């Protein structure tokens, strides 16, 4: 074993000479001088007690023994490179890339991640946020969260929570809202990631915005909820995002009416990816923690 370790350097040189077709090219591949290459070849020949190369004009040629050894060494180095690549991939695969909109990341995913790390400390989650709700392709991501009917050909989709829009505002502002029509008299906080949410809620309540309706556009639902807590207006958001804020009393739901659709928010992935550890661990955990919390 020790002899093999001591000969790995000269064997790598032999492999480079064979692959490169000569001493000069091998020196370039290994970033050493041609003299260093020749020295390593002579050292290997001395250790083995057999001639591996011979002079052939201005370069060298392999003997029969040298050719056989070079071919076997090349195969072994290829196997070693493959083993190293698998090991590196296994390490990289412990990182799970999830692509979501900011409101989902902050209001739904982050409060739950602590339990994942407590159970699976060797798994890393890389959460990337997107600027548009429809930016949900599985490009540079292992998982995405999509809103839809859950049917995407060739993909696995696990329901996280239903699509249900509710209103949220400060307790003080809620005292002015007694019926759906009262909403139009208040400032409406609009998420630019999902700007149609207000239209959906108003339509479900038999209302529509007019030119007199005041909207304040904000980057995402999280900012809308923060502005609502400060008393700046009414936000409309997914019920799943707001349960904790309702529980603490920081925000209240001024009206019981909600806008529901047949859609839901799904964890989407490729089937083979979702069935392979550690990705299957993440999927199983997310579904279990959702159920443990009673849904959203």
Q: Report the predicted TM-score, pTM, of the whole model to 2 decimal places.
A: 0.66
Residue that wins the pLDDT comparison between 182 and 73: 182
Q: What are phi and psi of 164, to 5 degrees?
A: -145, 115
pLDDT tens column, 16-27: 888 888 888 888
pLDDT value at residue 5: 65
pLDDT tens column, 232-255: 999 999 999 999 999 999 999 999
Place domain 163-261 in its CATH homologous superfamily: Periplasmic binding protein-like II (3.40.190.10)
Q: Which fold has domain 95-160+263-290?
A: D-Maltodextrin-Binding Protein; domain 2 (3.40.190)
In which region does residue 63 sit, left (phi positive, over 0), alpha (psi from -120 to 50) or beta (all else)? beta
Token code pair at residue 68: 């056989």
Kindly report the three-state secondary structure assignment for every residue of 78-140: HHHHHHHHHHHHHHHCCEEEEEECHHHHHHHHHHHHHHHHHHCCCCEEEEEECCCCCCCCCCC
Q: 225 and 198 in contact (C-beta within 8 Å)?
A: no
**Is there a shared CATH topology between the 2-89 domain and the 95-160+263-290 domain?**
no
Q: How confident is the model at residue 262 (pLDDT cuts 50, 70, 90)?
A: very high
Length of the chain counted residue by residue: 296
pLDDT tens column, 118-176: 988 888 889 998 877 666 788 889 999 999 999 999 999 999 999 999 999 999 999 99
Q: 37 and 27 in contact (C-beta within 8 Å)?
A: yes
Judged against a pLDDT cut of 70, whether residue 292 lies above it is answered with: no
Where exactly are the structural domains of the chain? 2-89, 95-160+263-290, 163-261
Q: What is the mean pLDDT of the chain?
A: 88
CATH number assigned to the domain covering 2-89 = 1.10.10.10
């Amino acid at each position: 074993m020790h002899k093999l370790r001591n000969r790995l350097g000269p064997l790598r040189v032999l492999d480079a000479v064979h692959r490169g077709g000569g001493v000069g090219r091998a020196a370039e591949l290994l970033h050493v001088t041609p003299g260093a290459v020749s020295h390593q070849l002579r050292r290997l020949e001395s250790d083995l007690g057999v001639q591996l190369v011979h002079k052939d004009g201005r370069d060298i040629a392999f003997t029969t023994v040298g050719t056989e050894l070079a071919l076997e060494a090349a195969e072994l180095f290829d196997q070693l490179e493959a083993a190293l690549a698998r090991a590196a991939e296994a390490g990289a695969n412990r990182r799970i890339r999830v692509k979501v909109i900011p409101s989902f990341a902050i209001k739904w995913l982050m409060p739950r991640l602590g339990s994942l790390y407590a159970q699976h400390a060797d798994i890393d989650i890389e959460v990337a946020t997107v600027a548009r709700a429809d930016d949900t392709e599985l490009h540079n991501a292992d998982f995405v969260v999509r809103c839809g009917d859950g049917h995407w050909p060739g993909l696995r989709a696990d329901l996280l929570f239903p699509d249900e829009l509710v209103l949220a505002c400060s307790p003080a502002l809620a005292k002015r809202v007694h019926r759906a029509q009262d909403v139009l008299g208040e400032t409406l906080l609009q998420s630019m990631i999902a700007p149609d949410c207000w239209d959906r809620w108003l339509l479900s309540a038999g209302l529509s915005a007019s030119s007199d309706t005041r909207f304040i556009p904000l980057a995402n639902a999280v900012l809308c909820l923060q502005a609502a807590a400060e008393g700046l207006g009414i936000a409309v958001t997914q019920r799943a995002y707001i349960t904790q804020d309702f529980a603490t009393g920081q925000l209240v739901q001024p009206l019981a009416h909600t806008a529901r659709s047949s859609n839901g928010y799904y964890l989407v992935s490729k089937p083979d990816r979702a069935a392979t550890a550690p990705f299957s661990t993440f999927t199983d955990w997310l579904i279990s923690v959702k159920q443990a919390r009673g849904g959203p």
